[in-house]
Amino acid sequence: MKYCFLDSPISLLCFVSRCSLLALFFMGWGATAYSADHQASPSRPPNIVLLFADDAGYSDFGFQGNETIKTPHLDKLASQGMRFASAYVTESVCGPSRAGLLTGLYQQRFGFEENNVPGIMSPAGLQGDDMGLPLDQRTIADYLKPLGYRSIILGKWHQGVADRYHPLKRGFDEFYGFRGGARSYFPYGEGEGKFSDQLEQAFGNYVEHEGYLTDDLADKACDLIERHQDRPFFLFLSFNAVHTPMRATEEDLRAFPNLKGKRRELAAMTLAMDRACGKVLDQLEALSLEDNTLVVFTNDNGGPSYGNASRNDPLSGTKASHLEGGIRVPFILRWPGKVPALSEYHHPISTLDLLPTFVNAAGGDASKLKGLDGVDLLPYLKNPDGSRPHETLYWKREMRGAIRDVDWKLIRLPDRPAELYNLAEDPSERRNLADQYPDKVKALYKKLFAWEMELERPLWLIKRSVEKTNAERYDQYRQ
């Protein structure tokens, strides 16, 4: 698979920076410290921007090799930073995946194992408002606050709809978005939508946007960046694009006259999200914040090909499965002067790693945070061919589980024998090697079981009918 990058290198201003340093020194204004690589390093910690897609397909971006769906702004971002070929989420569905990202912990350690969607949970589990990120868990925003950061979340929350789970009570300072897992892209009329779908401007202040929501979120992000440009900020732009319902503007649909049905709608929705990311990136540049901002773009789980016509090739599987197409996601990291442009990283990483990476970048010390499962990525990125951030990664949803140990991957299913793959040789998971390597199956089973012994029981369970549907994802959309 070929990866397409736009030619947009980051300019290096070492000579100018050194002259500026001397001028400031002799004028008595102080001097800017230099980083180890001799590029200009600002005196304050970096801003942090996390651009987060929802239900996007692994291959539905130009920087991932797609030649039909247009993503020029994200392609440019990829060319300015590092693209990760083996980035994983902690689960193949939205809620648990976000819980792992926000806490830096496998979410199964505190019982957030299944999606917290009212109506599909079993009577034995918690219901409705009771399903949310446990209050004893700290978030990225909690850890960044004492480091002087203002934390903002825009868009989808999906960590509990009750007031006690509200993002403004979970470390975030500002919120413009909705508490649930999905909503319309166009404004609701009076009496439409559900409580969890309603847009909030701060706590309990309900509003409705104008126009298309993806564009509206970008506009709000740009306003907030301008307002907070004089102090370090963490901006979590949590798009609901390209999650269902499938709704796009007529203008964006016209950009894809050769596509039909949901695939056309997906392409148009992706174009809108790319445009929104571009607005944010342009705002950083316009305010001269670009060089002192760490930007990450990624996705919450694999694309649900059965629902939004997304594609995960060359990977097998979809959202809700532990095949690679359910848990491996696009991932870009740009930090000028720290991460080389036009670079790639091939060892496995996890969205668990965002919290410690952000904390250390902000001037904190993530090694003092007890129990984290994520690691600071930055030391590993300095030597892309060196040691791995993770030798082993785990996934679990009730009886289904998976483990990646170096390049071997075991998938455990409740209704059939285990599957074993060598991802270095077979990233599409076409050749099940379980019969050929029974000792490897046994060893990985033991390792997976040992990890499961560390976990809490699930706080809520999914209905059997939904579990059966999810299990069927392993038989559909295989490459």
Exposure b/e, 396-422, CB count within 10 A at least 16 = b:
bbeebbbbbbeebbbbbbeeeebbbbb
Residue 439: give its domain's CATH number. 3.30.1120.10
Residue 473: its pLDDT value, please? 73
Same domain? For 381 and 398 the reply is no
pLDDT value of residue 27: 31
DSSP 150-183: EEEEEEE--S-SSGGG-GGGTT-SEEEEESSS--
Residue 444 lies in a domain: yes
Lay out the sheet containing 174-178: strands in order across. 206-207, 199-201, 174-178, 150-156, 233-238, 47-53, 293-299, 331-334, 82-84, 343-345
DSSP secondary structure letter of residue 374: -
In a domain, 1, yes or no: no
Phi, psi of 307 (to 5 degrees): -115, -40
For the beta carbon of residue 478, count every other beta carbon within 10 angstroms.
16
Based on the fold, state whether residues 163 and 225 are members of the same structural domain: yes
CA distance 394 to 359: 23
Q: What is the pLDDT of residue 215?
A: 98
Instruction: Identify the domain containing residue 447 by its residue range.
Output: 393-475
Is 114 part of any domain?
yes
Nearest to residue 375, comparing CAs of 391, 398, 399? Answer: 391
pLDDT along the chain (479 residues), means of 10: 37 32 31 33 85 98 97 98 98 97 98 88 70 97 98 98 97 97 94 92 94 98 98 98 98 98 98 98 98 98 97 96 97 97 97 98 97 97 94 95 98 93 97 98 98 95 71 73
Pick the closest to residue 97 from 307, 354, 276 (CA basis): 354
311 with 371, same domain: the answer is yes
- 180, 305: one domain: yes
Report the 10 Å Cβ neighbour count for 333.
Answer: 26
The reply to whether 5 falls in a domain is no
Residues 6+ apart with CB under 8 A from 230: none
Closest among 424, 423, 421, 400 to 412, alpha carbons compared: 400
Whether residue 256 is contained in a domain is answered as yes
Which of 363, 390, 417 delimits the end of a domain?
A: 390
Name the phi and psi angles at 343, rounded to 5: -120, 160
* Same domain, residue pair 386 and 434: no
One domain for residues 315 and 338: yes
Residue 329 inside a domain? The answer is: yes
* Residue 2 located in a structural domain: no
Q: In CATH, what number is assigned to the domain containing residue 202?
A: 3.40.720.10
In residues, how long is the chain?
Answer: 479
Say whether both 139 and 201 belong to one domain: yes
Residue 437 and residue 415 in one domain:
yes
Q: Are residues 380 and 407 in the same domain?
A: no
Q: Rounded distance, CA 107 to CA 102, Å?
A: 9
4 is a domain residue: no
Number of structural domains found in the chain: 3
Phi, then psi, of 408 in degrees rounded to 5:
-95, 140
Question: What pLDDT does residue 477 have?
Answer: 72
Helix (H, G, I), strand (E, B) or coil at 253: helix
Domain boundary (390, 418, 437) is at 390
Active site residues: 94, 158
d(CA 137, CA 121): 22
Q: Same structural domain for residues 171 and 308?
A: yes
Instruction: Kindly state whether residues 243 and 323 are assigned to the same domain.
Output: yes
Judge if 234 and 256 occupy the same domain: yes
pLDDT given at position 415: 84
